[in-house]
Chains A and B, each alone.
Chain A
Amino acid sequence: MKLKEVDRTAMQAWSPAQNHPIYLATGTSAQQLDATFSTNASLEIFELDLSDPSLDMKSCATFSSSHRYHKLIWGPYKMDSKGDVSGVLIAGGENGNIILYDPSKIIAGDKEVVIAQNDKHTGPVRALDVNIFQTNLVASGANESEIYIWDLNNFATPMTPGAKTQPPEDISCIAWNRQVQHILASASPSGRATVWDLRKNEPIIKVSDHSNRMHCSGLAWHPDIATQMVLASEDDRLPVIQMWDLRFASSPLRVLENHARGILAIAWSMADPELLLSCGKDAKILCSNPNTGEVLYELPTNTQWCFDIQWCPRNPAVLSAASFDGRISVYSIMGGSTDGLRQKQVDKLSSSFGNLDPFGTGQPLPPLQIPQQTAQHSIVLPLKKPPKWIRRPVGASFSFGGKLVTFENVRMPSHQGAEQQQQQHHVFISQVVTEKEFLSRSDQLQQAVQSQGFINYCQKKIDASQTEFEKNVWSFLKVNFEDDSRGKYLELLGYRKEDLGKKALKDSDQVAQSDGEESPAAEEQLLGEHIKEEKEESEFLPSSGGTFNISVSGDIDGLITQALLTGNFESAVDLCLHDNRMADAIILAIAGGQELLARTQKKYFAKSQSKITRLITAVVMKNWKEIVESCDLKNWREALAAVLTYAKPDEFSALCDLLGTRLENEGDSPLQTQACLCYICAGNVEKLVACWTKAQDGSHPLSLQDLIEKVVILRKAVQLTQAMDTSTVGVLLAAKMSQYANLLAAQGSIAAALAFLPDNTNQPNIVQLRDRLCRAQGEPVAGHESPKIPYEKQQLPKGRPGPVGHHQMPRVQTQQYYPHVRIAPTVTTWSNKTPTALPSHPPAASPSDTQGENPPPPGFIMHGNVNPNAAGQLPTSPGHMHTQVPPYPQPQPYQPAQPYPFGTGGSAMYRPQQPVAPPTSNAYPNTPYISSASSYSGQSQLYAAQHQASSPTSSPATSFPPPPSSGASFQHGGPGAPPSSSAYALPPGTTGTLPAASELPASQRTENHSVQDQAPMLEGPQNGWNDPPALNRVPKKKKMPENFMPPVPITSPIMNPLGDPQSQMLQQQPSPPIPLSSQSSFPQPHLSGGQPFHGIQQPLGQTGMPPSFSKPNIEGAPGAPIGNTFQHVQSLPTKKITKKPIPDEHLILKTTFEDLIQRCLSSATDPQTKRKLDDASKRLEFLYDKLREQTLSPTITSGLHSIARSIETRNYSEGLTMHTHIVSTSNFSETSAFMPVLKVVLTQANKLGV
């Protein structure tokens, strides 16, 4: 393919290989006259600029010369390795002169560019060559057999290689050997080539065949083999290239007869000895392999002969050819399309002529077009054989798991014979480990986790801590695993209850003096006083048996007495207050009842101006938010201490969080880092990660290790103390954990990486990584290779379009990952008459619902991961269900005689290994796929379920599973179907189904009630199997029982009448409602089997729910992942009673969301989706309520508005992104009630494309 052209009739020389950029020097040719018959001569230098796509060469310099040239070469003499000095240009002139030019000076535009000149030769100097070993040596040849060797260091007096050959002849070519520096060859048109040994100073061999028709126009040594050379003949009768080996000099080794007429020039590539260029009078430029004679390439040329041809030394694919039509063309032998160039030319033409009428024809010219033919011809094929320089001999690539794949090929031996030499074509796979300390620390952490030796681990960390802060952090973490964690926290903050008690006694007067509103001393001493007072009270009360006077005089005392005697507490209190007898007033108010007490307190605080009032207010009113929100951040310790002391479990975390957030937002970096401590107390892993990341540079493996150590320990602590649902892995944490696991994997510790990945989350990056790790481990995957767990497999049909291509690759990326499972639930084929066909009860109907607060992102839902909660309970150990789950006592009414078990074994049913039961296989055509997916490790419960399911399925009619196994599957249905999802899964109206309460007409809710009646009986086992999802907000830790009471003194008398809703609830209702209602989904199989169940059949005798049922649902467990969604469903009816209007500015949210749901509903086809949407619509009420109350933070509302906007533009994926953003940045409990459902709606909308 032609790259460049210059219109010159000239000899040419490329700049040496060292030179960058690449130059081409041209010197006016002495032999040919150009079209103008001008006798002027010039030396020009052009730059080869390949980044310029045009055909023009960039002219760098022109030097008007008095000479014309027969030969031009560019030697690297005196060139340094950087190529800064541009060597020397050596020209052979017409009159026996050799001229040395300095190309750098030519380029610089100097006048004095000639370095030296010598005209010792006779006649034109046609042959020149530079010794490649000693670049100061130049050989030249001219008429009369003259050969000179010039030393550029001493240019005046040349040497001769020996005596002149006889008879005298013109020397047309001369060439230094490429391997041996003292060997030189010359050739003449008369046909002979002579090889000279400069050490011997004589010709050592003469090469000639006996045809007498070899008219040598070209001579070239083999680039690699010292004894081989080629000679080209100009004679039309013998247009050949002879390859000679001097060892066998009697006849040519090989003769290349590819040209039809005489050859004018040859050039042997230094980069690849298999490429020899030749151009001849047949107007061809050929590239052949002189070792085989094969023509590899024919350059597309015009019909003109070329008289000079040169490889570019630096760019091995480039050559230049000078032709008699007065043009030097630069070609690439790599082929390529010239379409672009031609198009450019056409454009140029077009733009020059425009569409005007240059020829006066009266017709505007049609736009210029390239004929189709030209386009075809413009494609230039490359060499038949790949040139050596593009054959990559070596490589090294990293792959997953810190593996390095390397290969190398021993360098191609230079002569062909050696190619057969046995080569080992090996590829090496190596393990690269660079972070040893990181690995060992990770190992320690892993051991600590495995051995549960958290306290020891933390202690070690404390001991090893370099900084005070680090020590603090680890101390805080350690406390999590100890008894009385709050107390210990307090100690860490510098407060010891006992000490304070003593201190208070001693320095009670200091209390008054202390300034700072919530100064630590004040607060804590106050605390101490309370304790003391209480003690005193308790001491004094029993002994107060003395007599006293009841005065009814007219003074205040008397009035109070009168009021008291008449039972008029209110007046008495007023009087006391009036008289500033605060203590009396409060005491009386207590006796006067709740209302009065509250009023009195208020009045008291309004009146009291003491500096610690706010603290007292907070303590009494339990308004810790006030403290935390408004305290001076310098007093964060004290605020935290107060929270630790007083806050109830359900608000404790939030308060710590709040404090932490305040600290974090403070620009001051010391305070910022302290926020970490707050988050540790709060057990808020996500925020800890965020805060830590902000404060530390987390990019280095070891600093990431620092973070992960803390996070892992904290998570363990949180799991222990708060029974947190482990599936709540925030975005940030997920990112860090996957980063960490990635690092481990990159060091080859794949097993460790797997161990540290949170095992129960649907964060896409984690799911993805786990899949990758599992497979990288090389564990044989059960079943066959086909399933790609985290990805929906994209079908890629064979070449032709055909019926195979039923899986079209969706363009919308967010949809690509939807697993098949999501589709399955739409097929609801079960009927109560065929218990074996119950499978369609799909816990995974709506993953975002089943997972409560942590809806999976739309992508990467594991096929098998039907229920993450269940998965969390049974994380790794494979085996059968009934071996893992605590045996579930069969409640009386459930005692089954029906073969329901595999029906209830919900998820088990729709991935049977052998599709024996027809209904099952019909419902799930893709069953094999799923079943193999479920064999994925970590999905053990499904795996187990398979086995379990398969046996009964094989003989459904006869063999009923024995009680234990039925119990097991029963349980499986339980945890596998959290309450809210069960509602979706069941087709409404079918006999025996029991939708969740919200979906039932109120009258049917008796069902719930009746089930609830059985609660006491079920209580024990429920705790066993249903812990994490349902009871997760009920702290398990012994020091923080659910009815945790803050320290007694003030609060207890005040608090008791108000009651702790939670404890109250627990008193009134022996069992939390959530498991109950999840229970409610169980009876269906029995019912379907015909067993009468009074709960349903009983026609609506008991209507409504007992208050104890609904109320705790609302208040019981704020922020509890599962409880919340459920509770919400339950609480809807009560919420509808009084409602403020939604503020105008937020009304758009409601209308947008509702409108979207309506749109989805109208285009949704399957009942499943419709139900989901219906429910979403209801649940969004929660959001509207929050809007009404204006309790949402501005960031959330603005985020919601963004979502609304993206809904309006139908850009749901953007909405989802915003959604993720909100969820990841906002307070969990604030958004948990409505964000998941909003996500469902968005996802649906995206899916339906409404």
Chain B
Amino acid sequence: MVSVINTVDTSHEDMIHDAQMDYYGTRLATCSSDRSVKIFDVRNGGQILIADLRGHEGPVWQVAWAHPMYGNILASCSYDRKVIIWREENGTWEKSHEHAGHDSSVNSVCWAPHDYGLILACGSSDGAISLLMYTGEGQWEVKKINNAHTIGCNAVSWAPAVVPGSLIDQPSGQKPNYIKRFASGGCDNLIKLWKEEEDGQWKEEQKLEAHSDWVRDVAWAPSIGLPTSTIASCSQDGRVFIWTCDDASGNTWSPKLLHKFNDVVWHVSWSITANILAVSGGDNKVTLWKESVDGQWVCISDVNKGQGSVSASVTEGQQNEQ
């Protein structure tokens, strides 16, 4: 069941391109072609504009909240080739850092799992992915992966910090060091998986090929303690794939077509518990998908302007699972 509990009038003057809640789900950040980033307090169904952040000189594509242990930090990326890291201090939001290391539109920003420190991955139309690492003292170290995706990178998404299965079954003596990984999708129709080598360099680990057009978004599913890694990808070609990898080395990924839509699919987002995927497409529709017992992905809801209901059949299916 999907029911609208809050409608926020953002007063943006142009298209909204992203809307993200913070870690607690109490604040909403939006960004728009009107070059602004806005932050709202949306607790208890209200909407209070906390900040209207100006600083970008082009449409702002995405916003990303950092983990609250680092304070209230929001990253935004824009067509103006810049990434801005905003920060709240004493109740006021202001620009904390500006990253101008890209030669083209920066399309996606994503914070690494907080366990790694404050690391931001940025994907740009210049084909590069840059990684900003906070090193203290207001300094950010930049690592850049050039030519990650020809013509451009559209999306980046970090792998969860918990290496699947490591929580309990970690063999003794093995280093608990996380292997940092993230996925990216681009205009070369590819999804690429990147891994940090021991020398700190980022290396392409995998190339996932199934889409026949631009990959618009990738989303690495949160870990729920199972030894499977899952990535969702969507593309200009209207297809959404679910990629899974069961082996520990992370080398064998197999795609499963979730659905072929009639229009470009712009965005995929996993629920926190990683069992529902929200798909938003060019037909302005948002659908929710869930994997049924037999491994098929089923649309459980059509969210039309936020209205929708979960179809009964699936709910019954869940009961049958018992």
Q: Which residues of A contact B (CB under 8 A)?
A: 1, 3, 20-21, 50-51, 53, 314-315, 317-318, 332, 334-337, 339-341, 379-382, 386, 390-412, 423-437, 699-703, 731-732, 735, 739, 742-743, 745-746, 772, 775-776, 778, 784-785, 788, 790-802, 804-805, 807-809, 811, 813, 816-817, 1198-1199, 1202, 1205-1206, 1211, 1213-1214, 1217-1218, 1221, 1224
**B142 contacts partner chain A, Cβ-Cβ < 8 Å:** no
CB-contact partner of A401 in B25, B30, B188, under 8 A: B25
CB-contact partner of B4 in A412, A429, A799, under 8 A: A429
CA distance A380 to B127 in the complex (A): 12
Check A794–B118 contact: CB distance below 8 A.
Answer: yes
**B266 contacts partner chain A, Cβ-Cβ < 8 Å:** yes
Q: Give chain B nearest CB distance to A871 CB in angstroms.
A: 22
Q: Give chain B nearest CB distance to A234 CB in angstroms.
A: 31
Closest to B283 in A: A394
Check B19–A405 contact: CB distance below 8 A.
Answer: yes
Contacts A334-B152, A336-B127, A808-B136 hold; do A399 and B21 have CB atoms under 8 A apart?
yes
Check B176–A51 contact: CB distance below 8 A.
Answer: no
Q: Give chain A nearest CB distance to B210 CB in angstroms.
A: 11
Chain B residues near A802 (CB, 8 Å)? 138
Check B280–A1221 contact: CB distance below 8 A.
Answer: no
CB-contact partner of B2 in A318, A337, A430, A735, under 8 A: A430
Check B267–A396 contact: CB distance below 8 A.
Answer: yes
**B242 contacts partner chain A, Cβ-Cβ < 8 Å:** no
Check B226–A699 contact: CB distance below 8 A.
Answer: yes
Check B147–A53 contact: CB distance below 8 A.
Answer: yes
4 nearest interchain CB pairs? A791-B69, A399-B21, A778-B43, A428-B306
Chain B residues near A435 (CB, 8 Å)? 318
Chain A residues near B175 (CB, 8 Å)? 1211, 1214
Closest to B288 in A: A432
Check A409–B16 contact: CB distance below 8 A.
Answer: yes
14 cross-chain CB contacts under 8 A: A51-B188, A335-B103, A336-B124, A386-B105, A395-B266, A403-B5, A405-B19, A405-B21, A408-B305, A426-B9, A427-B19, A743-B273, A798-B87, A798-B138
CB-contact partner of A437 in B23, B68, B285, B319, under 8 A: B319
CB-contact partner of B315 in A340, A381, A434, under 8 A: A434
Interface 1/0s, chain B 100-121, versus A by CB < 8 A?
0001110100000001111000
Check B105–A392 contact: CB distance below 8 A.
Answer: no
User: Which residues B1-32 have CB closer than 8 A to chain A?
Assistant: 1-26, 28, 30, 32
CB-contact partner of A393 in B2, B72, B284, B318, under 8 A: B284
Chain B residues near A699 (CB, 8 Å)? 224, 226
Check B150–A53 contact: CB distance below 8 A.
Answer: yes
**B207 contacts partner chain A, Cβ-Cβ < 8 Å:** yes
Q: Give chain B nearest CB distance to A602 CB in angstroms.
A: 42
Check A809–B226 contact: CB distance below 8 A.
Answer: no
Check B271–A424 contact: CB distance below 8 A.
Answer: no
Number of interface residues of B (CB under 8 A): 129
CA distance A394 to B17 in the complex (A): 7
Chain B residues near A390 (CB, 8 Å)? 61, 79, 105, 107, 125, 154
Given contacts A426-B8, A429-B5, A813-B115, 7 further A-B contacts (CB under 8 A): A1-B126, A317-B151, A335-B125, A380-B103, A434-B275, A794-B71, A796-B134
Check A794–B284 contact: CB distance below 8 A.
Answer: no
Contacts A428-B306, A796-B73 hold; do A746 and B167 have CB atoms under 8 A apart?
no
Q: Give chain A nearest CB distance to B177 CB in angstroms.
A: 9
Contacts A337-B146, A395-B267, A792-B69 hold; do A1224 and B91 have CB atoms under 8 A apart?
no
Q: Give chain A nearest CB distance to B51 CB in angstroms.
A: 13
**B135 contacts partner chain A, Cβ-Cβ < 8 Å:** yes
Check B224–A432 contact: CB distance below 8 A.
Answer: no
Chain B residues near A386 (CB, 8 Å)? 33, 58-59, 79, 105
CB-contact partner of B138 in A51, A318, A429, A796, under 8 A: A796
Check A799–B98 contact: CB distance below 8 A.
Answer: yes
Check B136–A805 contact: CB distance below 8 A.
Answer: yes
**B270 contacts partner chain A, Cβ-Cβ < 8 Å:** yes
**B53 contacts partner chain A, Cβ-Cβ < 8 Å:** no
Q: Give chain A nearest CB distance to B24 CB in angstroms.
A: 4
Contacts A50-B151, A380-B103, A427-B10 hold; do A794 and B70 have CB atoms under 8 A apart?
yes
Contacts A337-B126, A816-B69 hold; do A315 and B279 have CB atoms under 8 A apart?
no
Q: Give chain A nearest CB distance to B273 CB in angstroms.
A: 4
**B276 contacts partner chain A, Cβ-Cβ < 8 Å:** yes
Q: Give chain B nearest CB distance to A426 CB in angstroms.
A: 6
**B256 contacts partner chain A, Cβ-Cβ < 8 Å:** no
CA distance A436 to B319 in the complex (A): 10
Q: Give chain B nearest CB distance to A937 CB in angstroms.
A: 14
Closest to A51 in B: B188
Check A335–B30 contact: CB distance below 8 A.
Answer: no
Check B286–A396 contact: CB distance below 8 A.
Answer: yes
**B246 contacts partner chain A, Cβ-Cβ < 8 Å:** no
Check A398–B271 contact: CB distance below 8 A.
Answer: yes
**B190 contacts partner chain A, Cβ-Cβ < 8 Å:** yes
Check B105–A399 contact: CB distance below 8 A.
Answer: no
Check A391–B21 contact: CB distance below 8 A.
Answer: no
**B165 contacts partner chain A, Cβ-Cβ < 8 Å:** no
**B272 contacts partner chain A, Cβ-Cβ < 8 Å:** yes
CA distance A1214 to B173 in the complex (A): 7
Chain B residues near A395 (CB, 8 Å)? 16-19, 266-267, 269, 280
CA distance A233 to B163 in the complex (A): 63
Closest to A1217 in B: B176
Check A796–B70 contact: CB distance below 8 A.
Answer: yes
Chain B residues near A1211 (CB, 8 Å)? 175
Q: Give chain B nearest CB distance to A1045 CB in angstroms.
A: 40
Chain A residues near B135 (CB, 8 Å)? 809
**B201 contacts partner chain A, Cβ-Cβ < 8 Å:** no
Chain B residues near A745 (CB, 8 Å)? 272
Closest to B264 in A: A389
CA distance A9 to B124 in the complex (A): 33
Check B224–A739 contact: CB distance below 8 A.
Answer: yes
User: Which residues B156-189 have CB closer than 8 A to chain A?
Assistant: 167-168, 170, 172-173, 175-176, 187-189
Check B11–A425 contact: CB distance below 8 A.
Answer: yes
Chain B residues near A784 (CB, 8 Å)? 91
Check A315–B151 contact: CB distance below 8 A.
Answer: yes
CA distance A397 to B19 in the complex (A): 7
Contacts A334-B152, A432-B288, A746-B273 hold; do A776 and B2 have CB atoms under 8 A apart?
no
Chain A residues near B137 (CB, 8 Å)? 797, 801, 805, 808
**B212 contacts partner chain A, Cβ-Cβ < 8 Å:** yes
CA distance A896 to B100 in the complex (A): 67
Contacts A391-B17, A437-B319 hold; do A432 and B276 have CB atoms under 8 A apart?
yes
Closest to A53 in B: B147
Chain B residues near A792 (CB, 8 Å)? 69
Q: Give chain A nearest CB distance to B126 CB in angstroms.
A: 4
CB-contact partner of B103 in A379, A772, A813, under 8 A: A379
CA distance A426 to B15 in the complex (A): 10
CA distance A1113 to B10 in the complex (A): 66
Closest to B316 in A: A437
Check A51–B322 contact: CB distance below 8 A.
Answer: no
Check B173–A431 contact: CB distance below 8 A.
Answer: no
CA distance A1091 to B318 in the complex (A): 71
CA distance A791 to B115 in the complex (A): 11
Chain B residues near A429 (CB, 8 Å)? 4-8, 21, 28, 42, 306
Check B8–A1218 contact: CB distance below 8 A.
Answer: no
Q: Give chain B nearest CB distance to A501 CB in angstroms.
A: 43
Chain A residues near B69 (CB, 8 Å)? 788, 790-794, 816-817
**B250 contacts partner chain A, Cβ-Cβ < 8 Å:** no
Closest to A343 in B: B146
Q: Give chain A nearest CB distance to B257 CB in angstroms.
A: 13
CB-contact partner of B167 in A400, A735, A791, A808, under 8 A: A735
CB-contact partner of B310 in A434, A1218, A1224, under 8 A: A434
**B303 contacts partner chain A, Cβ-Cβ < 8 Å:** yes
Chain A residues near B13 (CB, 8 Å)? 425
Chain B residues near A382 (CB, 8 Å)? 79, 81, 103-105, 125-126
